[in-house]
Amino acid sequence: MNKRLFLFSLAVTTILTASAHFVMNLQTKKIGSAVSPTMYGLFFEDINYAADGGLYAELVKNRSFEFPNPFTGWDISGKVTLRDDGPFERNPHYVRLAPSGHRDKHSMIENHGFFGMGVKGDEEYRFSVWARVPDGGSAKLWIDLVDNATMRDDQKLGNASVEVSGKEWKKYTTIIKPDRTFAKAHLRVWGDGNATTDLEHVSLFPVNTYKGRENGLRQDLAKALEDIHPGVFRFPGGCIVEGTDLATRYQWKNTIGPVENRPLNENRWHYTFTHRYYPDYFQSYGLGFFEFFQLCEDIKAEPLPVLSVGLACQFQNQDERAHAAMDELQPFIDDCLDLIEFANGPETSKWGKVRADMGHPAPFNMKYLAIGNEQWDTPYFSRLKPFVEAVRARYPEIKIVGTSGPDSEGKMFEKGWEAMRELKADLVDEHFYRNESFFLGTAEGRQRYGNCGALRYDSYDRKGPKVFAGEYACHGAGKKWNHYETSLYEAAFMTGIERNADIVEMATYAPLFAHVEGWQWRPDLIWFDNLRMFRSVSYYVQQMFAKNKGTNVLTLTAENIKKLKGPSEPVAGQEGMNGLFASSVFDSQTNEIIIKVVNTSKTAQDIHINLLGMSGERLAETLTLQHDGSMDDENTLEQPFRIQPVSGSLKCVTEGKKQATVLKDQLPPMSFRLYKVSVK
C-alpha cells in the first residue's frame, strides 16, 4: 500500500483533544496522475418529467394528438373531430375544428400543459401550428393564454391570432405576450366559426430559450447544467434505453429530423412505480439526439450516448424471448455504427448528412459510446461481444463503456467486471444508490456492501478497464432525501474518486432533474416547477468538485494518526481520521493547488496542512458549503439558496527557519471546505 493510500485508507478511529490538531502533509511538487477532464459530469434521463415538461421548453403536452388517448391533455368543445391522414407520416393524427352552426358556440381546444404552463409576464411566447382550410379560402384562428384557475373577470393572460389560408398544410407562427406571470396557464385555440380548420402539431415555446433556439431548452434549467462545468454528459438513460420491451426501447433514429415527424414513445416511468403513477407521461422526442449533442457542445461536456444492446429491461423480462436473439442483433449494432457516423461522419456520409441538414455540418466529435444499461450475466456478455467487435473494427478510436449491472457489489457485479475485462471494454459503468454507511464506508457499510466508501477504488486493478461511476446518490436511511447530511457524505465519497483519478475516469450523480409535481425517483440533483428551480445541496457538492477538478492528483498524507487522543466523541460508525476525508489536486492551467476536506464528524476539527515544497506566507482562497442549521435542511423552491458554497480566504502561516507554508484551519462540524493556493 502506498503512502497516499495509507492516508485515508486506514480505517482507524482517532480521537482529538480540544487543542489537538490533525496534521496532513501535501506534496505540492510531486505531480501525480492526471485527472480526466471528463471526471465529474451529468447523467440525463427522461425520468421525473426531465425532458417533456422539464428541460425541453415545449409547453404543450400531446401537441400532435398521438397519445393512446388522443385528447389527453386537451379539453374540447364545439365540433372537434380527430382525423388520421395528416401531413406527418409518423404522427398522422390531427384535429378538425368545424363551425358549430351557432354564433357563440365556438369549436375550441384547450391544452393543460404539463401541470399547467408556466408563463412570465415580461416574456414572449412563440405559438406555432400546422394548419389548413380543407375547403379552401381562409379562416381566423384565435390563440389565448388563459388563467382559468383563479377567479378573474377576464381569463385571458394574452392572446394573438393567425389567418390560415388555403388547402395546403402550412406552418403558422405568432407571438403572445402574457400580461402577468402565472404557473398554471392553459392554451386555448379556437376558430371564428366561418370555416373549417385543420390543426396539427400545436406548439408553444418561450422565445427566451437556452441559446435562443426555437426547438429549445428551458433557459434556467440548461443554465444550471452549464454552471456545474460538467466534463461528460451521459444520455438518454437509464432504463428508458432498454425499454420495458424492445418495441418501447429508446431508438435514437426516431429522435432526429423535423420534430413534427418524430414518433411518440411511451415512457416507462409513467407506470413503473404504482405509488407515483403518471398516465400522461410519454416521450415526444422533441429533445432528441441532435439536441443532446448540441447541448453537450454548449456546456462543453463530452457526449456519452447509451444505446441498446438488444436486451429489454432484464428486471422486467426474465424470459429470453423478450430480447433480441444473437442472430437478430445486426440492426442494434447498426444503430451504434450509424450513431458514430451521425455524430462524427463527414457531411458526405449518409448519417453525417442528416446531422448537417439539421444545421450542424461540423462533427460533434463524440469519443465515448456506452452499450447497454444495467445489464448483467451471459445474456449481456454474449450480446455485447459482436458490438465491441464491430465498433472496434470501424471506429477503433471510440471508447466503449460496458456495465457491471445494477449492483455495486456481489456475484453478478464481479462477473460483470470479469467479462468487461475479457471483452476489453474501455470503461465499466457502475451504479450505486446506497445509504450513508456505503458512502462513509463504515463497518456496517463494509459488512453489508463490501468494498465501499472513499476507499472503494483504492484496491481496484489498475490494469483493466477504467471506472465510470455512472449513477450514484446517497439515499438516506429512514427515507430522507436531498438534505444536507447525505450530500456531505457524497462529498466525502468523492474525495475517494478524486484520489483514484488514475482509475476513475468519470462519475455522474443520478438522477438529474425532477418536477416537484411529477417525480418518480428521488433524491435528484435539480428540482423545478413550471417557473422556478432550485439546485440541491448535492448539486453544489458536484459543482465544487467539477469546477475545481484540477489536472493532476497530489499526494496528501496524514501524520501521527494514532498519537492523537482526546475527549471528542467519534461519530458512531465512522472510521478513519475522525471522520475527515480529503483529497488534493494541482491545476496546471491556473497553477494552483486545490485541497478538499470534508469533516463528517459532529465536532469541529483543527487541521494543519503542511504544504511541502512551498514557503512564505500565502493566501488560500476558500469555498465552504455554507450551512449552520439542521442536518435535515435542504434547499427548496421557496429557499433555493439556503445552503450553497460561500467564498472566503485564509492566511497560511509560515513555520521554521525555512518559512515553510502551513495551512491551518478549524473545520466546523459536518462541513465541506476547499482551499486554493497559488503556487506562483
From CA 77, how far away is CA 350, in angstroms rounded? 46
When asked if residue 510 is in the footprint of ligand AHR (CB under 6 A), the reply is yes
What's the closest the beta carbon of residue 532 comes to ligand AHR, in angstroms?
23
- The dihedral built from the CA positions of residue 602, 608, 613 and 617, taken in this order, carries a sign that is positive
- Tell me the three-class secondary structure of 556-582, residue by residue: EEEECHHHCCCCCCCCCCCCCHHHEEE
- At residue 223, the 3 state secondary structure works out as helix
Task: Tell me whether residue 197 or residue 373 sits nearer to ligand AHR (CB atom).
Answer: 373
Plot region of 490 (φ>0 → left; ψ -120 to 50 → alpha; else → beta): alpha
Q: Taking CB under 6 A as the criterion, which residues in 219-238 touch ligand AHR?
A: 237-238
Beta strands at 156-165 and 138-146: parallel, antiparallel or unpaired: antiparallel
Contact pattern from residue 39 through residue 78 relative to ligand AHR, giving x for each residue in contact according to CB under 6 A and a dash for the rest: ------x-x-------------------------------
Task: Tell me whether residue 59 or residue 510 sits nearer to ligand AHR (CB atom).
Answer: 510
Nearest residue relative to ligand AHR (C-beta): 238
Q: Report the interhelical angle of 289-299 vs 330-344 (nearest 10°).
A: 40
Task: Tell me whether residue 129 or residue 512 sits nearer to ligand AHR (CB atom).
Answer: 512
Judged by CB under 6 A, the residue of 86, 406, 523, 576 near ligand AHR is 406
Q: 49: which 3 cell numbers? A: 418529467
Judged by CB under 6 A, the residue of 197, 373, 404, 605 near ligand AHR is 373
Beta strands at 466-474 and 427-434: parallel, antiparallel or unpaired: parallel
Task: Tell me whether residue 315 or residue 641 sits nearer to ligand AHR (CB atom).
Answer: 315
* Four-CA torsion 569, 574, 578, 583, nearest 10 degrees: -150
Judged by CB under 6 A, the residue of 193, 286, 416, 511 near ligand AHR is 511
Side by side, which strands form the sheet with 513-515? 513-515, 526-528, 533-535
Task: Tell me whether residue 45 or residue 58 sits nearer to ligand AHR (CB atom).
Answer: 45
- Helix or strand holding residue 471 (H, E): strand 466-474
Q: Give the largest Cα separation in the chain, rounded.
A: 99
DSSP state of 270: G
- Helix or strand holding residue 330 (H, E): helix 330-344
Question: Residue 411, exposed/middle/buried by CB under 10 A (0-12, 13-18, 19+)?
Answer: exposed
Q: 95: which 3 cell numbers? A: 384535429
Judged by CB under 6 A, the residue of 59, 117, 195, 239 near ligand AHR is 239
Plot region of 668 (φ>0 → left; ψ -120 to 50 → alpha; else → beta): beta
Task: Tell me whether residue 6 or residue 273 sits nearer to ligand AHR (CB atom).
Answer: 273
State the CB neighbour count (10 A cutoff) for residue 446.
18
266 is catalytic: no
* Cβ atoms of residues 161 and 143 within 8 Å: yes
Q: 381: which 3 cell numbers? A: 456478455
From CA 279, how far away is CA 110, in angstroms rounded? 19
Q: 30: which 3 cell numbers? A: 510531486
DSSP H helices, 1-112, are 3-9
Closest listed residue to residue 247, CA positions, set 336, 340, 313, 320: 313
What's the closest the beta carbon of residue 523 comes to ligand AHR, in angstroms?
11
When asked if residue 523 is in the footprint of ligand AHR (CB under 6 A), the reply is no
- Please, how many CA atoms are within 13 Å of residue 242, restricted to the half-sphere of its CB? 20
When asked if residue 472 is in the footprint of ligand AHR (CB under 6 A), the reply is no
Task: Tell me whether residue 73 or residue 230 sits nearer to ligand AHR (CB atom).
Answer: 230
Task: Tell me whether residue 454 or residue 525 sits nearer to ligand AHR (CB atom).
Answer: 525
What's the closest the beta carbon of residue 304 comes to ligand AHR, in angstroms?
14
| Active-site pick, 374, 471, 592, 634 | 374
- At residue 426, the 3 state secondary structure works out as coil
Task: Tell me whether residue 118 or residue 238 sits nearer to ligand AHR (CB atom).
Answer: 238
Q: 547: which 3 cell numbers? A: 469546477
Q: 107: which 3 cell numbers? A: 369549436
Task: Tell me whether residue 73 or residue 310 sits nearer to ligand AHR (CB atom).
Answer: 310
Closest listed residue to residue 510, CA positions, set 232, 97, 114: 232
What's the closest the beta carbon of residue 306 comes to ligand AHR, in angstroms?
9
What's the closest the beta carbon of residue 458 comes to ligand AHR, in angstroms?
26
Q: Taking CB under 6 A as the criterion, which residues in 412-431 touch ligand AHR?
A: 431
Nearby residues of 418 by Cβ (< 8 Å), 6 or more positions away: none
Count, residues near ligand AHR per rule CB under 6 A = 13
Judged by CB under 6 A, the residue of 260, 374, 409, 426 near ligand AHR is 374
State the distance between the two ends of the chain, measured CA to CA, in whole angstroms: 32
From CA 424, how far away is CA 387, in angstroms rounded? 12
When asked if residue 471 is in the footprint of ligand AHR (CB under 6 A), the reply is yes
Task: Tell me whether residue 238 or residue 579 sits nearer to ligand AHR (CB atom).
Answer: 238
Judged by CB under 6 A, the residue of 172, 205, 233, 521 near ligand AHR is 521
Catalytic residue numbers read 374
| Interface positions with ligand AHR (CB under 6 A) | 45, 47, 237-239, 373-374, 406, 431, 471, 510-511, 521
